Amino acid sequence: MMVDTPGAEAPSSPDITHVQPADERTWMGHPRQLARLFSVEMWERFGFYGMRALLVLYLVKHFLLQQYQASGIVGGYLSLVYLTPVIGGWLADYYLGSKRSVKWGALVMAAGYLLLCFGGDQAKPYAVIGGHRYEVQVDRGGSLLDSTDTKQWVVENGQRLQIHGMPDGSVQLLSTSGQVASTVAKQDFKPGAETSPFYLTLMLFALSLIVIGNGFFKPNISTIVGSLYKQGDRRRDAGFTIFYMGINIGSIGSQILCPIFANWFGWWAGFAIVVVGMLIGYAMMQFDGGRLAGYGEPPQRSGPDRAPLIYILSILSAPLFWLIFRNVMNTPEAAAGSGLWGYLVATPFLGKVLFVTFLAAVIGIPIWSWKTGTRAEAQMMIAAIILVIFNVTFWTLFEQAASSLTLFADSNTTLHLFGFFISAPQTQNFNPITIVIFAPILSWLWLWLARRGWEPSIQVKFGIALLLVGLGFVVLAWSKVTAGADARVALWWLVLTYFLHSIAELCISPVGLSMITKLSIARVVGMMMGVWFLSISIGEYLAGAAAQSASVQTVGGQVTNPQLALESYAHTFMVGGETTMVAGVILLAISPWLKKIMHGVK
């Protein structure tokens, strides 16, 4: 997500109403502390998005996990990234203060990124054919992140036979001359890999630390930014706009550099520069020269400082997240034809908890508000819950970037623009680049429409976002007919998809949390903010599940049949895109009714 929503100011934030901005030194017309917070956020997002760009391919190509497992891990990881800030924000509000939380989160994330550098040797691929196990060799025609000419071979009695997947799932074994030596039925060909249990455990533990650190960092850096401005200071929104530009600058830089370093020197190098970036961010907070004194300080409490205990318990919680990742990775697919119940039973523990919690919230909150609030308050809460539900649909498709879109780019696009090689992880950069270019244009457009009374309402912007993100996937599904003999489409199709998705994001992300605070009953605003982030968390989880539905068999980290992969991705993209566009049409259709029950909230 390139446009993050601001966190609310903590009720325990220090009183700074005495601060007079006109009497202070400023930076671009804003409190000078914003410059440092901008830089800290830039370096943290440098780390987050750089690691995110590499993660799914690291799992598939280094640990040789199947795409189904890798997409599940990525979905679970990103889901937890948006869930843990609810706890981290609460701990900062009542015990640590925002500044200490940010510092601790930065250190824990840096430790997690560092552990990712130690992945050991690549897993050793093999294939079980007719009950017999054979060595698999992988010839890379290009570099680590260039799979365009990669071939996989089964070694049988010293003879190399190329693996060629067929549309029906069977596998042809070809001699070096290209002749079919044998055809293996789908049920008789089972790929696998010898993966080090130690390094696999270390990798999952690293992800656990990153999730924990992110919980401390993500909500509280925004809280400090908010505390720079007095109540009613009109510079506040502009300050957050500048602050969030750091997100896009950091993500663009990391999604260019991390894949380059990984490609040149190995996976460890891609993660190593992430560590450096995170430590720079920590140093800028720790050694601030007193510039942030009085901001994000701990709340006044009696008794001993609980910070050391919180730090220890946070690290001790890592095994819990490790178990969640193991469960997500090892949960088998639902049996074919098992229906909705079979899917629910096969859902990992994390998914069950998310769904039950979310279902309880979207049913219980409207009932509670109808019983305890006024008629207008209850109607506004119902409107908020409806938009929260549609928000899940949006992020389910949008966050395919970290999984299925990257895997699709790797196996089914030409990976070249203007004659230059663009690795699959670097394609994720199309999003922040589009945001940087078009955010000012769209902002100007909304202002131009507002002056004429034509600016779309919140719910209409939500509907437009759903239509655009769905259209992005429909377009990508259509690209299948342009594929060449190698089952690859021009990378420009992916550029177009990211463009549509980014414009959609600019319609929904900046107004989301603001909408929740305006529609919610005052005494449950905090809880509704939690429900909003829970909806994003579920969207991230479902994004991983959707990517799993598109996953295809790999041997040695490469798909066995690019044509079959193209068909699978195109089908999943079309179904997801059409479903989301229908959701957008429904939302636009009910928008007049929503406008009525929102009672003037815009």
Looking at residue 52, its pLDDT comes to: 97
Residues 6+ apart with CB under 8 A from 112: 206, 207, 208, 209, 210, 212, 213
Give the span between the Cα atoms of 193 and 209, in whole angstroms: 26
297 located within any domain: no
Task: Give the pLDDT band (50/70/90) at residue 203.
Answer: very high
Environment class of 62 (CB within 10 Å of its CB; exposed 0-12, middle 13-18, buried 19+) = buried
311 located within any domain: no
Range of the domain at 450: 349-602
Domain boundary among 297, 330, 363: 330
If asked whether residues 246 and 168 sit together in one domain, one would say no
Q: Which residue has the higher pLDDT, 577 or 140?
A: 577
307 located within any domain: no
First to last CA, the chain: 24
If asked whether residues 243 and 386 sit together in one domain, one would say no
Looking at residue 227, its pLDDT comes to: 83
If asked whether residues 64 and 148 sit together in one domain, one would say no
If asked whether residues 73 and 111 sit together in one domain, one would say yes
* Average pLDDT of the segment spanning 239-250: 84
If asked whether residues 260 and 118 sit together in one domain, one would say yes
Looking at residue 10, its pLDDT comes to: 39
DSSP class of residue 520 equals S
pLDDT, mean over the chain: 89
If asked whether residues 570 and 453 sit together in one domain, one would say yes
Give the span between the Cα atoms of 312 and 26, in whole angstroms: 38
483 located within any domain: yes
CATH code where residue 61 lies: 1.20.1250.20
If asked whether residues 399 and 528 sit together in one domain, one would say yes
If asked whether residues 267 and 399 sit together in one domain, one would say no
Give the span between the Cα atoms of 184 and 180, in whole angstroms: 11
If asked whether residues 247 and 219 sit together in one domain, one would say yes
Condensed to tens digits (0 to 9), the pLDDT of residues 494-545 reads 999 999 999 999 998 877 777 887 888 877 777 788 888 899 999 999 999 9
313 located within any domain: no
336 located within any domain: no
If asked whether residues 86 and 143 sit together in one domain, one would say no
The model's pTM is 0.92
Taking only Cα atoms into account, the Rg of the chain, rounded to an integer number of angstroms, comes to: 25
Looking at residue 19, its pLDDT comes to: 46
If asked whether residues 560 and 542 sit together in one domain, one would say yes
If asked whether residues 203 and 249 sit together in one domain, one would say yes
Query: What is the tally of structural domains in the chain?
Result: 3
Task: Give the pLDDT band (50/70/90) at residue 14.
Answer: very low
Does the pLDDT at position 1 exceed 60? no
Does the pLDDT at position 17 exceed 70? no
Looking at residue 241, its pLDDT comes to: 76
Beta bridge partners of 156: 159
Does the pLDDT at position 341 exceed 70? no
Helix (H) or strand (E) holding 558: strand 558-559
Q: Which residue has the higher pLDDT, 564 or 529?
A: 564
Domain boundary among 150, 175, 194: 194
Does the pLDDT at position 13 exceed 50? no
21 located within any domain: no
Contact assessment for residue 61 and residue 75, using Cβ atoms and an 8 Å cutoff: no
